[in-house]
Amino acid sequence: MIAHAWVLWTNTKARATGDEGLATAEVIGYSALAIAAIVAFFALLTPLGEDVVNWIRTQIGI
């Protein structure tokens, strides 16, 4: 009986201190950071791409 109560108490304590709900918040946070990184990456590459296109046009003579 005491062993059963101990197992029940430890299982309840483990469930109370678990972080199962944190996984969703982590996924949303990582997704937001990934989207921000992609937007920043393309924002930085856009002017460089325009410079490359203009350089190619100059070399071709268009």
pTM of the model: 0.50
List, for residues 31-45, the tens digit of each pLDDT value: 999 999 999 999 988
pLDDT of residue 21: 65
Q: Does the pLDDT of residue 51 top 70, yes or no? A: yes
Encoding tokens for residue 61? Answer: 């003579």
**Residue 11 pLDDT level (bands cut at 50, 70, 90):** low
- How many residues belong to the chain? 62
> In which residue are the tokens 């309840």 written?
12
Intra-chain end-to-end CA distance of the chain, in Å? 89
Give, in degrees to the nearest 5, the angle at Cα 19 between 15 and 25.
145
Instruction: Show me where the domains of the chain are located.
Output: 22-62
